[in-house]
């Protein structure tokens, strides 16, 4: 069953995101976490993309291993800001050759050590261009990104939703949101998206809190907000790693329960290549 078809009536869809490992030790940790989380029966997993050099090769290789060795449906992230059309076409052929039928199509961030050309001078100016290219040339189901608190580069939430509508019109089949911690942001975002004519599933992306410093770094990078009450709670326990993890599990379970009770089609967990927090939250949701 293709990923968009999973989001029908019935039980919510649970999925996990893993990031591309950088070292052999990280790779072992990744596959250990995936093996543990596989027991929870995820509908699919996604793997983030390394755009440069050998990271690009490891993305394809690792996604193929996840699919073949663990038997978990896999959606491979694909970014386009540094790629030509011929490079993307080659990557799509290779990904498809591994039996992977889904991709998450993203513009991607500019390279850290260089400035990306302006949109008009790139083969793919925006994520919608990548989505359209994939849809025209390959039989993939395509996930796209949504931003409940808007993309950091967007001038307004309204403009950001218009961009999302363009990605869906170009061929996006489902939306995974950026992480957030206030469910009101998600529900308002869904309301805006539906008003803009977006009818595909919009899946909330949830990152369990596992470390206060790490949380602050991630939210600074992606533009997400840490609610005042949450920040105050974590400030009191930030020097107790175990207390922070327990807090993240409790907060994550409550957040996910409310999302599901109010109509979210599932939960996409940003696992950070760890298993404990995601495992305990999901078991809480399933009552086991």
Q: How many Å apart are CA 269 and CA 225, to the nearest integer?
A: 18
**CATH number reported for the structural domain that contains residue 189 in this entry:** 3.20.20.220
Check whether 212 has a pLDDT greater than 80.
Answer: yes
pLDDT, average across residues 228-255:
97
pLDDT, average across residues 9-20:
92
Q: How many Å apart are CA 95 and CA 182, to the nearest integer?
A: 36
| Residue 110 neighbours by CB under 8 Å, 6+ apart | 81, 116
pLDDT, average across residues 263-272:
96
Q: Choose between 256 and 68: higher pLDDT.
A: 256
> Residue 62: which of 24, 115, 12, 102 has the closest Cα?
24
pLDDT, average across residues 169-188:
98
Catalytic residue numbers, as ranges: 17
Q: How many Å apart are CA 123 and CA 207, to the nearest integer?
A: 32
Domain housing 24: 3-286
Strand, coil or helix: what is 281? helix
C-alpha distances in Å from residue 145, one per residue of 57, 176, 194: 23, 5, 15
The 10s digit of each residue's pLDDT in 252-264 is 999 999 999 999 9
Determine if the pTM surpasses 0.85.
yes
β-strands 102-106, 74-79 pairing:
parallel
Report the domain count for the chain: 1
Check whether 119 has a pLDDT greater than 90.
Answer: no
- Its sign, for the CA torsion 208, 214, 218, 220, is positive
The first and second tokens of residue 67, run together, are 């699919």
Backbone angles phi, psi at 246, to 5 degrees: -60, -40
pLDDT band at 113 (very low <50, low <70, confident <90, very high): low
Q: Are the C-beta atoms of residues 130 and 124 closer than 8 Å to each other?
A: yes
Q: How many Å apart are CA 180 and CA 62, to the nearest integer?
A: 28
Averaged pLDDT score across all residues of the chain: 92
Residue written as token pair 């076409």: 89
């Amino acid at each position: 069953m293709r990923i968009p078809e999973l989001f029908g009536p019935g039980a919510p869809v649970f999925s996990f995101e893993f990031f591309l490992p950088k070292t052999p030790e990280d790779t072992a940790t990744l596959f250990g976490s995936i093996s543990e989380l596989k027991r929870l029966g995820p509908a699919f997993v996604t793997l983030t993309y390394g755009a440069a050099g050998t990271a690009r090769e490891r993305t394809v290789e690792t996604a193929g291993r996840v699919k073949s060795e663990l038997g978990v449906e896999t959606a491979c992230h694909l970014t386009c800001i540094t790629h030509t059309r011929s490079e993307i076409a080659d990557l799509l052929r290779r990904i498809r050759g591994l039996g992977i039928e889904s991709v998450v199509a993203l513009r991607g961030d500019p390279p850290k050590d260089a400035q990306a050309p302006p949109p008009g001078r790139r083969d793919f100016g925006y994520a919608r261009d990548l989505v359209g290219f994939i849809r025209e040339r390959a039989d993939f189901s395509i996930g796209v990104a949504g931003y409940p608190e808007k993309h950091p580069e967007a001038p307004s939430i309204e403009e950001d939703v218009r961009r999302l509508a363009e990605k869906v019109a170009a061929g996006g089949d489902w939306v995974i949101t950026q992480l957030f911690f206030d469910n009101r942001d998600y529900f308002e975002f869904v309301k805006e998206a539906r008003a803009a004519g977006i009818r595909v599933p919009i899946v909330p992306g949830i990152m369990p809190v596992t470390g206060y410093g790490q949380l602050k770094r991630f939210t600074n990078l992606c533009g997400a907000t840490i609610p005042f009450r949450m920040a105050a709670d974590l400030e009191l326990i930030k020097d107790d790693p175990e207390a922070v993890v327990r807090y993240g599990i409790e907060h994550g379970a409550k957040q996910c329960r409310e999302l599901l009770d109010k109509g979210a089609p599932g939960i996409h967990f940003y696992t950070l290549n760890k298993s404990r927090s995601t495992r305990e939250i999901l078991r809480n949701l399933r009552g086991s």
